[in-house]
Amino acid sequence: ASAIFGVAEAYQNLGEYEQAVAMYDECQHLLRAALCNDHPDIANVLNRLGKLHSDHGNHEKSFECYSMALRICQANFDPTHVQIAEMQFATGVAARKRGDYESARQHLQDALKIQKKAELMNETCFSLIELGNVHRLVKEADIAVSVYERCIDILDTTKADQSLYGCLYLSLGHAKLALREIERANECYENSLRSRTELYGRDHPTTA
């Protein structure tokens, strides 16, 4: 199973979607036969499968994989374990991408509870950004702005993941645009562009 997992990773890195899915599925079946259906190693495979499906736009399958991985983590770890928060976050993002906003909101709020308690600043900020995105997508732009601003308030610039800033200001710009605050939206977009240019360079797809 470990060897097949490595092959799946190689296919994933090469962008060979179908082959990677087949290898991860085979790895998962072997682990279920050798261990038990709720073993954490299976959650790890499902987590990788979830990301693979998400990267290729298959958000239904991504949500399914993350949901199964979350259930396994909940069966194995304390309710406040950071791995559960990680899976709650991933499941929430997958739910948001498939248009299930209420499910997304609940998963992200559950992730936030654990992340705040563990004082995980970067993880908390990413969850707040995603929660703000959910509010924005259900036409609650004013609430989204307040959520994004909470994220700004807790950011420690000396410790923050620098990719946070590009995501945060881009999302805040969208919310300000929805509120017809055009000048402020433009400032946010410029901040996002500046951050991503510094981090990735002018020719990176994320900057584009």
Residue-level pLDDT at 155: 85
Residue-level pLDDT at 159: 78
pTM of this structure: 0.94
Is the C-alpha dihedral spanning 157, 160, 161, 163 positive or negative? negative
Residue type present at position 119: E
Low-confidence ranges of the chain (pLDDT < 50): none
In whole angstroms, give the CA distance from residue 109 to residue 31: 31
Tell me the three state secondary structure of residue 203. coil
Residue-level pLDDT at 160: 82
Q: Which two tokens stand for residue 147?
A: 């959520």
- The burial of 194, by beta-carbon neighbours within 10 Å (0-12 exposed, 13-18 middle, 19 or more buried), is given as middle
In whole angstroms, give the CA distance from residue 168 to residue 126: 8
Residue-level pLDDT at 52: 97
Residue-level pLDDT at 157: 67
In whole angstroms, give the CA distance from residue 119 to residue 57: 32
